[in-house]
């Protein structure tokens, strides 16, 4: 059985070559060829010996998801639907801005967390993505952008905010992020690499030791009763336990690098009292708040808070000393906005079998 080299980070590649009785520095060469120079044909890797190249052709492969469709929004946002070997499909989204280009990457086929405001959660869950299927989204997006835009658009930032809960696929996500951060591959700094989680507290503590990146917390409510209805994972890891984990994660860092995400739902979590409650639980944390206008999807009973309510909510937080922004709605005409990714999830598994 061939080893898919896209499933390995630098340490994994070093172990791979040592088993072949090759020098470990070959791992550095291969990582550069595949990710930095985008060469996947072993015969073209000219600083490897001919014998090694032939050996790799027999025992290794470079296998990625397949791009089925590409959609481009009127605002420049790009969405790719990618088919996996299991028959399901995932989605990745590129958001161009003046000084950066952000790629939203999926980590699972569907999601088992059942957050009520998210279209992905309504699709059910199939499986975790392999490392190659996670890092493959970045590799394929870079290739598509170079081809279609002559290098004028590039991925500078990555957010693990696509389909799935990244911390529920911990080992594969960590390995993929190691490749993203490696200077031999993509060289994305931890400040430009963000992982979004609904609040898997033990994994947040592990993340700080294994691969420290910017963190985004899907909060969406300031009390446990409401949050448990919106984000069922809250029943296992309530708000104060989650915020304590955030304090531990940010310890020793001067600049805030934790963002609290808060989707505004009309008449659900957007009142003056909701804003006051949010201030009371967040004012002592080194965080910034990103308010997200709800993006509708088929079958939902939620509505987005009116624009004046969003502005009032934002101003309340700012007046209380909290750094607060409102996320721009991007890609909604191609169903690529926050919370709208659905993919195509086959052979769904009940969440009770996962969590």
**Rounded to the nearest 10 degrees, what angle do helices 272-282 and 239-250 cross at?**
50
Here the contacts of 300-307 (C-beta below 8 Å, separation 24 or greater) are: 300/117, 300/119, 302/116, 302/117, 302/265, 302/266, 302/268, 303/265, 303/266, 303/267, 304/264, 304/265, 304/266, 305/264, 305/265, 305/266, 305/270, 306/266
Distances (CA, A) of 186 to 103, 115, 158, 177: 13, 32, 11, 10
- Give the 3-state secondary structure of 103-152: EECCCEEECCCCCCCCCHHHHCEEEECCHHHHHHHHHHHHHHHHHHHCCC
CA distance 38 to 144: 12
Helix, strand, coil percent content, the chain, rounded in steps of 5: 40, 20, 40
CA distance 153 to 127: 31
Q: Which residues are catalytic?
A: 91, 338
CA distance 151 to 161: 24
Distances (CA, A) of 222 to 114, 196, 207, 231: 19, 18, 24, 12
DSSP letter assigned to residue 304: B
Virtual CA dihedral for 39, 43, 45, 47, nearest 10 degrees?
180
């Amino acid at each position: 059985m061939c080893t898919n080299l896209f499933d390995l980070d630098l340490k994994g590649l070093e172990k791979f070559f040592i088993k072949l009785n090759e020098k470990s520095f070959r791992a550095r060469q291969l990582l550069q060829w595949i990710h930095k120079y985008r060469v996947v044909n072993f015969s073209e890797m000219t600083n490897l010996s001919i014998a090694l190249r032939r050996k790799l052709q027999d025992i290794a492969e470079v296998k990625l998801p397949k791009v089925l469709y590409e959609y481009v929004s009127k605002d420049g946002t790009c969405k790719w639907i990618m088919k996996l070997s299991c028959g399901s499909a995932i989605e990745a989204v590129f958001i161009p801005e003046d000084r950066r280009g952000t790629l939203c990457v999926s980590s699972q086929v569907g999601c088992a967390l059942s957050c009520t405001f998210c279209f992905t959660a309504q699709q059910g869950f199939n499986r975790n993505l392999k490392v190659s299927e996670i890092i493959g989204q970045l590799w394929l997006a870079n290739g598509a952008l170079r081809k279609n835009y002559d290098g004028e658009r590039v991925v500078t930032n990555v957010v693990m905010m696509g389909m799935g809960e990244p911390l529920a696929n911990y080992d594969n996500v960590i390995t993929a992020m190691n490749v993203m951060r490696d200077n031999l591959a993509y060289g994305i700094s931890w400040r430009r690499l963000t992982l979004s989680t609904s609040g898997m507290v033990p994994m947040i503590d592990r993340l700080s030791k294994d691969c420290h990146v910017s963190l985004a917390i899907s909060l969406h409510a300031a009390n446990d009763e409401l949050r448990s209805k919106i984000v069922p994972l809250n029943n296992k890891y309530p708000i104060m336990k989650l915020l304590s984990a955030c304090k531990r994660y940010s310890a020793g860092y001067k600049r805030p690098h934790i963002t609290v995400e808060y989707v505004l739902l009309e008449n659900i979590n957007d009142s003056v009292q909701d804003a006051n409650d949010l201030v009371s639980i967040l004012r002592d944390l080194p965080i910034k708040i990103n308010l997200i206008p709800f993006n509708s999807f088929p079958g939902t009973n939620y509505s987005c808070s009116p624009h004046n309510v969003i502005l009032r909510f934002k101003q309340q937080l700012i007046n209380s000393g909290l750094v607060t922004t409102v996320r721009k709605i991007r890609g909604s005409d191609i169903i690529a906005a926050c919370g709208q990714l659905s993919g195509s999830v086959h052979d769904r598994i009940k969440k009770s079998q996962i969590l």
